[in-house]
Structure formats: structure tokens, C-alpha cells
Chain A
């Protein structure tokens, strides 16, 4: 191929590829404005920004906010608590991330197809409702005053004071974990269910002839077929360890349980937007983003090894 001008053709018209680029340019600009330009906002982390005053008139403090995270005892204490919540709940999630897989494996064992289909449809619905609705449901079922569970107990035991499931802050991580499972397990299982449907049936027939039992077939055929998918997802989870989001925790947070469910993302919001400590929270958020990027890089490298050179990027 001859080397041609990528912008202009010989007869001085725009080359097709460049015309296409121009037609896509408005959207590329949007992406720049809303995904890349905010990075420029990281400069707030290096100033002592006090909102009514313009940033340019505020004192430049360099890495003060970042060193403060480690050196200032009060901030360190807070950060350790938040980090503990973030990692604690992430690790809890990772340690139990095999559950959707097992859920799918045994669901495939149900012989009545109609029942299987209904279970699949019903258990997937919670994934598509917002965390606000989940919280509203939690309120409706477990609230101390008029929740379903306490109402049922009261129906048998009039005058019962009620158990305060939501106000009680014991085992907060596990409660958050339970709601997460309730919401997502059915949906996460779908990926495994379709993988199981894709397994060559001849493998099972051969196993039948060899006299393999149900659990042997699960152990030697189904599970080995699902494990690569499982490990890939697990590695992505490791990369996203610090990114818990805040939808769930914002919906469930109250002054009592905040101590236990404030994760990094929520902490940055609470400090920055709700508490207007712009500079400090930007520093925390920035540090989090950078560490996350490194984690994702590591995760991607590991998954490359797992999937024979195919990366998750």
C-alpha cells in the first residue's frame, strides 16, 4: 500500500477516515470533558481550599494532606477504620464469591424445568431494583415498629417489644453482605448457568456409562468447566477491592451504624461534599484512585497468565 495522507486525499478532499473522526469528535470531546477533565480537579488536593475563596488565592500546601493521612493521629484513626470496613467487606465478598457458582450448579440439578425457570426468574429480580428500594424493603420487613418479622411475632405474643434489627449495629458487615447476596446471587449465577448449559453433554453421557454418580459428575465435569470463569471474576474483584461504591452504604447508613459501614467511597463523599472538606477528601480520593489503578494492573497481569494471554482490558 502506498503511504497516503491520512487527512486529505489526492484531490484535496477529506480522507474518509478523517471525516469519520470528525463525525465522532463531538462525543470524544464529551468524554474528555466529563472523564478526563475532572482529573485536573486533583489539584485541589495540594491546596488548602476554602470554598468561597478562589482556589488561586488559597495557600498551596503540597503534599500536606497526603502526609497528614498517615501522620495526623485523628485522621489516621479514621482512615484505618474506613479502610478496615472497605477491605473487610471486600474480603468477605471475595471469600464467598463461590456462592453464585454453587447456586448455579445445584440449580442445574433441579429436574423440573418449569420450577428451575421460575426460581431463576424470581431470584434475579432483586438485582434490578435500586438500593433505596432494598433499604425500603429492609425497613418494611425488619423495622422495630412496623416490620413484618416483628408484626408476626406480635401476632403470637401481644405486647412484644420488638427486635431492633436495623438499629442494632452488631455484625454490620455480615448484614450488608446478606443484603448484597439477596440482591445479586441469582443474577451472578446466570453466567454460570449459561456456562453449564454450554458444557458438552457427551461428557455427562460418558460419565453415566462409567457409572458416575451425581456428585462425581459435578466434581469431575461441571466444576472444572466453571473454575476458569470463577477465577477470572475473582481476580477482577481483587482489582476492584477498594471500589465498593456507595449506593448500598449510603442507603443503609445512619448515625449509629456509620462507624461500621462507612467505606472509602462513602467516606470521601461524607467528608468532601457533605462535610465540605474539599482538599482533604480529594487527597484521599486521589490516593485511592492511584492505588486502585495499580491493583487493577496487577489483577490484569495475573489474569493474563490465567487466560493464556487474554487480558481483561
Chain B
């Protein structure tokens, strides 16, 4: 609101603005325009190279505009060994991991918003304290080993199920909505769980959307856990596949080429460059696609986090 008001005021003052003001305006447009370009161009550059003639792309001739547009790279990328399963794992950990995290975290936020919770203060601190210490990567690894969780999909899901920070966000939100809303359900004899699922959870939509989005982006982007805890080839994700591919770019390139080389036309045949760019873009795409929907939520998320105090 206040921003549009500010804009209106500055419009009224337009007449009074000096040449100095105009010079500053031009400088601002140039500086911010350039920085926006630096942020956006790499994505565009990757994209035009994945849809261009692969020969030209490999020769470094696709700089600003695509040439010889085709979608062969996206069709062939799935033939790369491990690619399909990595995509499935990435999607699975994002969907399952986020759903369970949101459910568990909001439930805990609800439970701990109740004054009657048995030794509430102690248990609240018990959870919050986890934000401020960590055993470190080696003890954590040995812990998973002890549970026999190494090389298992559940390592993506279970340890991060209750996020302390997200729980604070939900708890604060629940405390801000009126407890009288729950009252009629309480008088009807509904228990805690029913009241949570039927009444409170639906009312928490704004904060739940925020933690869902941040949780999903976190799951999708996470790659160190795969590298540390997945020693075998199981449960690789798109991120870890890309990481591995980048770190051994040249060695793997020829191998991958022989696996995919089904096309006789050099313009369509995958090259190390096209493989690298295409995997990157495929890994990136979900983020770019959901971004327009979630960018209105993260402002809210930051604000709530900032005033958490």
C-alpha cells in the first residue's frame, strides 16, 4: 500500500525534480538493469544452447540467439543411465519429504501452542535447542550407520521431518488466531487431532503454504546428503547426478555419448556440452516453473521469520 502511495507522491513532485535527480534515475536504471541481466542471462544462455544445433553449440557459436532449434536433447536425456531413476527419486523425496515434514511440523506447532501440554516449556526448548547445535557430519554419519539407514531412501525423509524453525513459524501463527474458533469443535467433543485436522490446519493455510514451498525447494536442491550418505548407486538425485557429472565432466562424457548416440545427424547428436546444459536445465526447470507462484509467499516467510524474536 505504502509503496503505491509513495509512487503517487513522487509523481506529484515530478515538476520539482532537478536534472541531478534525472541523472541519478538513469544511473539507477542502468545499474539495476545490468544486475538483473547478470542474474537472468545464464538461464537464458543454458536454454538456447539446449535447443540449438548441437554442433554449433559445441563449437561455442550459440551466444545470444538459438540456431537450428530442436528438442532432441530433451528426448534423449532420459536415455542416460541413471537419469530416469534420479528424476523419480528427486520428485519422490520432494513430494513425500515435504508432505510428511509439513504434516509433522504443523502438528507439533499445534501441540506446543497448547498451554496444557505436559511440561510444555521443557519440550519446546528441547526442540528449539536443535537449531543451535549439531553433532557434525561424522557423528551424524555414524548415527545413520548404526540405524542401518545409509543407502536408504528414508534418510531424505525422516531425520528432517520436524523442523524447529518451521515449527516456531506455525506455532506463532496458531497463537495469533483466535482460540474461540476451536471452541465449538471442542464442545462437540472433538479431540485434539480432529480439532487440528478439521479446524486449525485449514486456517493455517498462509503459513503452511510458506513452509511447504521452502521445504520443497530445500528437498529439491539438496545434494550433500546424497553425496555423504549414499555410497552406492541407489537413490541418486538429479542434483547429485549433475554434481557427479560436472566433477568428472570429460571422463564421463565419452561414456555417456556412446550410450545415447542413437541419432545419425550430428546436429542432434548429444555432445558433452549439450548433455551438461540439458541436465542442468532439467534440474533447474521445476524451480523456474513454480517460482512465479511462490515468490509472493517468501516475502511473508521472511517477515514472519524476522519478527519471530
Q: How far is the CA of A199 from the CA of B1 in the complex (A)?
A: 11
The listed residue (B38, B45, B111, B306) touching A182 by CB distance below 8 A is B38
Known: A246-B224, A313-B128. A19 touches B192 (CB 8 A): yes
Determine if B46 and A130 form an interchain contact, defined as CB atoms under 8 angstroms apart. no
Which residues in B have their C-beta under 8 angstroms from that of A292?
Answer: 133
Q: How far is the CB of A100 from chain B (nearest CB, A)?
A: 12
* B117 and A285 form a contact (CB under 8 A): no
Question: Do A41 and B135 touch (CB < 8 A)?
Answer: yes
Of A21, A208, A247, which contacts B223 at CB under 8 A?
Answer: A247
- In the complex, the answer to whether B13 meets A208 with C-beta atoms within 8 Å is yes
Please report the C-alpha to C-alpha distance between residue A59 and residue B135 in the assembled complex, in whole angstroms: 22
Report the Cα distance A30→B162, complex, angstroms.
Answer: 8
Chain A 156-193 per-residue mask, 1 if CB under 8 angstroms from chain B, else 0: 00000000000000000000000000100011001100
User: Would A137 and B42 count as touching, CB distance under 8 A?
Assistant: yes
Return the CB mask of B12-45 against A: 1 if under 8 Å, else 0: 0100000001001100110111011011101101
Give the complex CA separation of A135 and B221 in angstroms. 13
Closest chain A CB from B38 CB (angstroms): 7
Partner of B138, one of A113, A122, A282: A282
- Considering only residues 1-34 of chain A, those with a C-beta below 8 Å from chain B are 6-7, 15-21, 23-24, 27-28, 30-31, 33-34
Q: Which residue of A lies closest to B277 (CB)?
A: A140
Give the contacting residue for B193; candidates A23, A132, A293, A311; CB below 8 A: A23
Which chain B residues (225-243) contact chain A, with CB distance < 8 Å?
Answer: 227-228, 239-240, 242-243
Q: Which B residues lie within 8 Å of A79 (CB)? A: none
A99 to chain B, nearest CB (A): 11
Which among A41, A132, A247, A281 has the highest number of chain B CB atoms within 10 Å? Answer: A132
Q: Interface residues of A: mostly helix, strand, loop or mixed?
A: helix
Is A129 part of the binding interface, using a Cβ–Cβ cutoff of 8 Å? yes
Which of A70-78, A81-89, A90-98, A267-275 forms contacts with chain B? A267-275
B293: Cβ under 8 A from any A Cβ: no
User: Is residue B107 within 8 Å, beta carbon to beta carbon, of the partner chain?
Assistant: yes
- Known contacts A42-B135, A133-B283, A313-B132: A201-B9 contact under CB 8 Å: yes
Complex-state Cα separation, A4 to B171, whole angstroms: 26
- CB contacts (< 8 Å) of B104 on chain A: these are 27
CA distance A152 to B61 in the complex (A): 9
Q: How many B residues, CB 8 Å from partner?
A: 97
Residue of B nearest to A191 (CB): B302
Residues of B within 8 A of A113 (CB): 3-4, 7
Q: How many A residues, CB 8 Å from partner?
A: 101
Minimum CB distance partner of A292 in chain B: B133
Bound complex: CA of A289 vs CA of B129, how far in Å? 13
Q: Please, which residues of chain A bring their CB within 8 A of the CB of B162?
A: 27, 30-31
Which of B67-75, B119-127, B172-180 lies at the binding interface? Answer: B119-127
- Is the pair A23, B111 in contact by a Cβ cutoff of 8 Å? yes
User: With A21-B119, A27-B104 known to touch, is A38 a contact of B143 (CB < 8 Å)?
Assistant: yes
Most buried by B among A119, A130, A246, A269: A130
A68 within 8 A of B: no
- Output the least CB separation between B128 and chain A (Å): 7
Contact A20-B63, Cβ < 8 Å, known A41-B140, A194-B303, A201-B2: no
* Besides the known contacts A28-B126, A107-B32, A273-B137, 20 further A-B residue pairs in the complex with CB atoms under 8 A apart: A15-B118, A18-B118, A27-B108, A27-B162, A28-B123, A31-B126, A31-B130, A34-B143, A38-B140, A110-B28, A115-B32, A119-B36, A125-B291, A132-B223, A132-B246, A190-B302, A254-B247, A278-B142, A282-B136, A285-B136
Q: Which residues of A contact B (CB under 8 A)?
A: 6-7, 15-21, 23-24, 27-28, 30-31, 33-42, 44, 106-107, 109-113, 115, 118-119, 121-126, 128-133, 135-137, 139-141, 146, 148, 150-152, 154-155, 182, 186-187, 190-191, 194, 197-199, 201, 204-205, 208, 214, 229, 246-247, 250-251, 254, 265, 268-269, 272-273, 278, 281-282, 285-286, 288-289, 292-293, 296, 307, 310-313
10 contacting pairs across A/B (C-beta < 8 A): A21-B118, A38-B140, A39-B135, A110-B32, A123-B35, A128-B287, A129-B284, A137-B42, A204-B6, A286-B136
